[in-house]
């Protein structure tokens, strides 16, 4: 059986190279439109599908300009520059003649040189020692993941508002799926909006700018177990926007990705 994410990532090639059609997937529906992580993965896939693509994903930035309505939308991926060691792309998502997102993608060819992970993986219990969230999930896409919170569950009431938006959780696809860059691009968006933790209620919120730096080598991804550890925290909430800094770690302690977003809230 094809995984729902792979279904969402199946693009229909258009008349010109770099043009393709995507279709929102009901299994990945969010409050309004599709889960942003899926859209980011689709934008990345549009580049990787291009016959001129070379190198592995290194950086991805998606600016969400408008909600995507259920149904089809067009992707236009343009190569902006190809160098010896990297390649720059600009992607646009268009629906009903209007831009719904813009994105830039950086592909890079790896080079053997100094390597080290300076960031420290949080010392947390193993996923087997934590119970998965079983309460009813209000959004379709959430059931695509099995989440096991180490700390910083989404609050249920205003009384549960805290001074810290730090969340740590183990997460895996509910239906098994090998890890790849599209899977990381999607999963880096799995954190509930940090504003929920601070105010204790589910105010309207949506990511406007989303960046993923992919640290993982293809070999690491291939050897990767089902769970990833995610750690996310907000920095400043001001004028209806906040930033989130987050990391994704493998069970074996590999830093797979660093991710940031700027989120609008009411």
d(CA 260, CA 104): 14
Out of 2, 12, 21, 85, the residue judged to bind its own copies by CB under 8 A:
85
Residues 209-228 that bind its own copies (CB under 8 A): 209, 211, 213, 215, 217
Query: In angstroms, what is the minimal distance from the CB of 98 to its own copies?
Result: 7
Which range, of 18-26, 33-41, 95-103, 130-138, touches its own copies by CB under 8 A? Answer: 95-103
Residue length of the chain: 266
Query: In angstroms, what is the minimal distance from the CB of 27 to its own copies?
Result: 27
Task: Write each residue from 158 to 197 as x if it is in contact with its own copies (CB under 8 A), else as -, in one continuous string.
Answer: -----xxx-----------------------------x--
* Number of Cβ within a 10 Å radius of residue 102: 16
Backbone angles phi, psi at 35, to 5 degrees: -55, 130
- Assign 53 to helix, strand or coil: coil
The token pair at 5 is 């994410």
Out of 58, 147, 169, 185, the residue judged to bind its own copies by CB under 8 A:
58
Nearer to its own copies, 36 or 177 (CB): 36
d(CA 184, CA 163): 29
β-strand pairing of 72-82 with 145-151: unpaired
**Cα angle 222-207-10, degrees, rounded to a multiple of 5:** 45
Residues of the shown chain interacting with its own copies in the complex, contacts defined by CB under 8 A: 58-59, 61, 63, 65-66, 80-81, 83, 85-86, 88, 90, 92, 98-100, 102, 104, 106, 108, 110-119, 163-165, 195, 198-199, 208-209, 211, 213, 215, 217, 233-241, 243, 245, 247, 255, 258, 260, 262, 264-266
């Amino acid at each position: 059986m094809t995984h729902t994410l792979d279904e969402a990532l199946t693009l229909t090639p258009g008349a010109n190279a770099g043009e393709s059609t995507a279709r929102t997937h009901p299994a990945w529906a969010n409050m309004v439109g599709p889960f942003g992580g899926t859209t980011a993965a689709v934008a990345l896939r549009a580049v990787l599908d291009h016959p001129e693509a070379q190198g592995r994903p290194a950086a991805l930035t998606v600016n969400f300009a408008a909600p995507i309505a259920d149904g089809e939308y067009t992707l236009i991926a343009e190569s902006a520059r190809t160098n010896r060691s990297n390649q720059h792309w600009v992607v646009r998502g268009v629906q009903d003649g209007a831009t719904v997102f813009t994105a830039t993608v950086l592909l890079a060819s790896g080079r053997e040189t100094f390597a080290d992970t300076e960031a420290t993986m949080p010392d947390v219990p193993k996923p087997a020692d934590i119970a998965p969230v079983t309460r009813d999930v209000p959004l379709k896409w959430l059931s695509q993941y099995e989440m096991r919170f180490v700390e910083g569950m989404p609050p249920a009431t205003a009384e549960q508002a805290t001074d810290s938006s730090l969340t740590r959780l183990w997460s895996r696809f509910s239906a098994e799926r090998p890890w790849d860059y599209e899977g990381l691009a999607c999963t880096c968006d799995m954190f509930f909006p940090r504003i929920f933790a601070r105010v204790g209620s589910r105010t309207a919120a949506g990511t406007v700018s989303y960046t993923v730096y992919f640290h993982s080598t293809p070999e690491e991804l291939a050897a990767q177990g089902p769970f990833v550890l995610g750690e996310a925290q907000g920095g400043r909430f001001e004028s209806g926007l906040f930033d989130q800094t987050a990391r994704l770690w493998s069970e074996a302690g590999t830093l797979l990705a660093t991710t940031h977003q700027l989120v609008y809230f009411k």
